Structure formats: C-alpha cells, structure tokens
Structure 1
Amino acid sequence: MELFFKYLQYEKRYSPHTLTSYHTDLGQFALYLEQVYQITDAAEADHTIIRSWLLTLVQNNIQPRSINRKIACLRSYYRFLLAQQRIPANPMLRIKAPKASKKLPAFVAEEPFNNFLDSFTFEDSFEGQRDRLILEFLYGTGMRLAELINVTEADVNFSAKTVRVLGKGNKERILPLNESLVQSISSYLKYKKSLQADNNSEKLLVTTKALPLYPKFVYRVVKKHISLVTTSEHNSPHVLRHSFATHLLNKGADLNAIKELLGHASLAATQVYTHNSIERLKSIFEKAHPKA
C-alpha cells in the first residue's frame, strides 16, 4: 500500500487532501478484511468480498458520495496491483457504484456579501488585512483552498494584474485580479514586511510568525466572517469558490470561461453551476410572469 501511495503522490500528483482520504479508505478496507475474513493482503480479496464491505457501509448509513469515493480508491488501488502483476485480474470490474444524489453547490448571496466586503471594518493591522485578503482572494479568483495557501509573492504580477496558480495535477493557470484585490495585496504586503520573524516564508499568506497558512486556519477565518452575512451552515472556503462561479454565471459569463478560471478538467464539472442559475430564473419567472 505504501508503494501505491508513493505512486499517487509522485507520479499521479494527487492532492494532499485526496491522499489523506485514500489512506483512510484503504485503512478501513484492510481492517475489514482482517477482522471479517482474516485476510492480511488486500490483493487476495475478490469481488464478492469487496461487495460485502460496500454492503456493510450501506447498512451503516454511509452516504453514497462517500461510498463512491471509497470505490474510486479501490479502483485505483487494484489497477495499480494489476499493473504491478500482483493480481491476475481486476476484481473492481464487477463492482458498480451506487447512484449519489446531486447536491447543488452552496453559495452566499451576491449583494449581501459584496456589501459586507465594502462596509466591514477590518482591523488596521497585519491580521486584519490578511483576513480581508483571504476572503477577497477566494471570492475574487475562485481558487481552491490548497491553491490559496500555496500562492507565493512571486506568483503575483502587479503590472499584469494576474496571479499564477498551481492546481490539481500540477496544472498551472493564470487568473486575473480586480483592482480592489490588487490594492488589498499591496496593503497586506506592507504589514507583512514589518513582521519580526527569522523564517520569512515565500508564501504570500502567512501567520503572525511568518509561517505558511494551513487549511484549518483559513477555515476559521472564512467561517468567522461568512457567519456575519448568512445563517447558512455552509460557510467553508469552498463556498466562496461556488459563489464566484455562480455569480459569474448569473451575470452572463460564458461557461467555458468559468471552467478555465476554476481549473476544471471537463465542462461537466462546471455545468453543476447552471442548476443554481436555473433555480434563480424559476424564482424570477414565478414572481414576474402573469401565468406563473
């Protein structure tokens, strides 16, 4: 399994988040094999054993989306074992994934959130300007959390008003910056230079000790401020990415352009945002049309 994870990390370049999830999934599967079937090598499991584990997950009320991720993990693992000639055939070929209900992406309302960014008084300090920049970056570019914490000062091009982002699979893309965001970066950097620290990080966003930010830190900042705008439980950094895409689409942006900005590999991943726009159109129709 360790060889498999090295393969995912260094050859397939999976994100740390996916690697952590796959570690958990394979660990749970290995524990099941040992406890129920006294099998210590997953290569010995056939499709009936794998199916029995999946059935156990269903009986334990595990969500279909989570089960599908575990199936994706096992598919990658057994393909790897087959390529390594550890198994004669891939048992996952006889496994079907359960249908998962499609949830519409959660997003914050455009006007209240923009009013918040314009009117909220962030502290005139390093922490205050950094927190503002976190929110503006996520909402103003639509980048992922992992992409945000890895942006370096060198990635920002002030003259071109762009930022270079390294996305999933080490795919690089260039994102435009609006004037407000450029000004926020400039203001923040003045405070960052005044930090008294021995280990100044090349990362753009850092803690007060000049160390790179970490996911939980960003989660706390986003949750703290979004809760002032909405009562929804959906207040993670990813909600601002969804808001970015939804608001662009509502303003008439081309779906392919949004796909490129988000760094999606296929248009199918971006099309989920059209459902939110359709719901908005339905609402307008019901309020305005005399026959609605």
Structure 2
Amino acid sequence: MVSYFLQHIKFEKRLSHHTVTAYEGDMKQFSAYLKFQYDLKDPEKADFQMIRSWIASMAEEKMENRSINRKIATLRTFYNFLLRHKIIVTDPMVKIKALKTDKSLPKYVEEKPMENLLDEVEFSNDFAGMRDKLVLELLYGTGMRLSELIGLKLSDLNLYNNTLTVLGKRNKHRVIPINRNLVGAIRDYLAQRNDLIDDNSDDYLILTDTGTQAYPVFIQRLVKRYLSLVTSLEQRSPHVLRHSFATHLLNRGADLNAIKDLLGHTSLAATQVYTHNSIDKLKKIFQQAHPKA
C-alpha cells in the first residue's frame, strides 16, 4: 500500500518532488523499524503502540523534535489515505500528538550585507559570473523558492511588463513583479546564455556551466559560497534569501498580505512569522534611540 500512497500524493495530491521524496524516506524508515522490531511487513497493520514505540526510539536517538514531527505528519497522511480507501477501519494516529518544539525565527541577512553582496562584490563578465549574480538577484529580489527558481523557463519571463511567473507548491502559478535592475540582469545573462545554447522557449532559464538545467545542490553551493563573503550566519541557503526578502519588505512597511501573495503562502499565518523579526528590529532601534530606553 505504500507504493499506492506515494503515487496518490504525487499524481492526485500533486505534492512537490521534494515532499514526495521526504514522505518516501519516512515510510521506508518506518517500514524498516516495523520489520526489525515486530517482524511486520505491512505498515497498514501497525497499531498505536508500534507507532508510539517508533517515535520513542527516534527521541532516544536524540533526533530533533521538528524532524520527528515531520515523520508523524507523514504517518497521519498515510493512515488518512488508508481510512478513505477503507483499507483500515480505525486510525492508529488518533492518540499520537506532535512533540513540543521551540519556535525558531527565520534566519535572514541584514540589508547592508545584501547590498554589499549585490553592489560591491565583483562578478566575472562571462556566463558563469552573470548566472551567479542573476541567481542571487532572483532569489533575493523575488523571494521565490529554490524549486521555483530551478523550474523557471524562458517562457515564464515577461520583460516588457517587468514580471515573471513561477510554478509554486501544489502546481499553483503566481506572477511576481521584478524591478528594472533585475530586468537588466536577466537581459545581460540571456545574451551570454544564447551564446552557450540555442534559444528555445521551453528551455530552463538557469543553466549550469555545461548548459544543462540547474539542480538543487548546484544552486545551494552557489548561494553558500557567495553568502559566506558577507555573513557569518551558520545557515547560508537559498531559503535564507527568501527570508531576507520577506523580512526586508516588512521592515520597510510593506503590507503583510502583499508579502503573503509574493511568497505564495496559502495562509497569512505562514507569513506572520516574519513580524517577529520586525519587532526585534524595532526593539533594537528603541534601545538605541530612546532617551529612556
């Protein structure tokens, strides 16, 4: 049933490739535990005690609560699928509760270091240099996700209206405005790109040095290398640039609902986490400026 479940979330629920891969890994780990601990081959036959035992074993191995909670969420989805298809009659997850986690604020790069990176750092004038800078400009200038950047195609660009269209989670499209500087960076990059590969409206925008579609690890390494020049943050990932985009907009007075739409969040609750960063900044300003602080 696990294979049918994975097909369901991939083709019917249309979850992202990254999410499907994570669910598949969780189910493999759970199945291996059941086989080793209880000699049980079919996860659909697991009961509450078996599931609780697996959760306890992960906690004993000092796995982070957030990671355990994600695996709990995977099992909830799996057993809900079994219930809807009448494979099981009772849900063994009913009494399973998520573990408590500390609320962690999104990590972001301050405005000045970002300005230094994009305005002061020298990028080479060849294809690789222009591509690297464009990747940073796109991630920070639009707040798009890593998967959205990699999936961006030439046909998604509208340089006359200064917009681009990204394919987000659950196959939802959204249009993002881009500023003139970013439009210029895209045009400069396209001129170099066309020398590397024949133009085709179905081609992906961001390419590797060999002219193939960029992949996650390639972009992650690129971003980490450049962010290391301007920040000492331990986390230097594409998602940090997304967090920086949202935090800087909020700090400069942007409407929370507008940021929600730009990020492609389905609910305002997901966007409100950035207000905590803004409040922290206001506190610092108050401490520095107010005579009675």
TM-score in same-fold range (> 0.5): yes
**CA offsets 1:162-218 (integer angstroms, 9 cap, x no match):** 000110001110000011100000000000110157999610111132211000000
Distance verdict in 2 for CA 1:149–1:196, change over 3 Å: closer
- The residue aligned with 2:69 is 68
Measure the CA separation in 1 of the matches of 2:125 and 2:110: 27
1:167–1:263 CA contact under 8 A, matched in 2: yes
The TM-score normalised by the length of structure 1 is 0.97
Answering whether residue 205 of structure 2 is matched by residue 191 of structure 1, we say no
Identity %: 52
Answering whether residue 222 of structure 2 is matched by residue 221 of structure 1, we say yes
Measure the CA separation in 1 of the matches of 2:100 and 2:224: 31
- The residue aligned with 1:6 is 7
2:260–2:271 CA contact under 8 A, matched in 1: yes
Distance verdict in 2 for CA 1:230–1:67, change over 3 Å: same
1:22-101 equivalent positions in 2, closer than 5 A: 22-101=23-102
CA drift at 1:134: 0.2
- The residue aligned with 1:269 is 270
- The residue aligned with 1:253 is 254
Aligned length: 292
- The residue aligned with 2:142 is 141
* Amino acid of the structure 2 residue aligned with 1:289: H
2:148–2:168 CA contact under 8 A, matched in 1: yes
Measure the CA separation in 2 of the matches of 1:60 and 1:7: 31
1:201–1:210 CA contact under 8 A, matched in 2: no
- The residue aligned with 1:125 is 126
Distance verdict in 2 for CA 1:152–1:198, change over 3 Å: closer
* Amino acid of the structure 2 residue aligned with 1:213: A
Measure the CA separation in 2 of the matches of 1:117 and 1:23: 38
2:167–2:173 CA contact under 8 A, matched in 1: yes
- The residue aligned with 2:178 is 177
Unaligned runs of 5+ in 1: none
1:199–1:210 CA contact under 8 A, matched in 2: no
Measure the CA separation in 2 of the matches of 1:182 and 1:161: 7
Distance verdict in 2 for CA 1:46–1:3, change over 3 Å: same
**CA offsets 1:210-234 (integer angstroms, 9 cap, x no match):** 2110000001110110000011111
Measure the CA separation in 1 of the matches of 2:264 and 2:33: 37
Answering whether residue 113 of structure 2 is matched by residue 112 of structure 1, we say yes
**CA offsets 1:257-283 (integer angstroms, 9 cap, x no match):** 000000001101000000001111111
SS at match of 1:33: helix
The TM-score normalised by the length of structure 2 is 0.97
- The residue aligned with 1:153 is 154
**CA offsets 1:111-169 (integer angstroms, 9 cap, x no match):** 12112211221111010000000000000000000000001001000111000011000
Distance verdict in 2 for CA 1:85–1:6, change over 3 Å: same
1:197–1:210 CA contact under 8 A, matched in 2: no
* Amino acid of the structure 1 residue aligned with 2:292: K
1:197–1:209 CA contact under 8 A, matched in 2: no
Unaligned runs of 5+ in 2: none
Moved more, 165-174 or 110-119: 110-119
2:116–2:230 CA contact under 8 A, matched in 1: no
Measure the CA separation in 1 of the matches of 2:199 and 2:282: 54
SS at match of 2:94: helix
Moved more, 59-68 or 198-207: 198-207
Root-mean-square deviation (Å): 1.4
Q: Which runs of 4+ in 1 moved over 3 A?
A: 196-201
Measure the CA separation in 2 of the matches of 1:196 and 1:205: 12
Moved more, 150-159 or 206-215: 206-215
SS at match of 2:101: coil
- The residue aligned with 2:165 is 164
SS at match of 2:106: coil
1:147–1:167 CA contact under 8 A, matched in 2: yes
Measure the CA separation in 2 of the matches of 1:101 and 1:169: 28
1:201–1:211 CA contact under 8 A, matched in 2: no
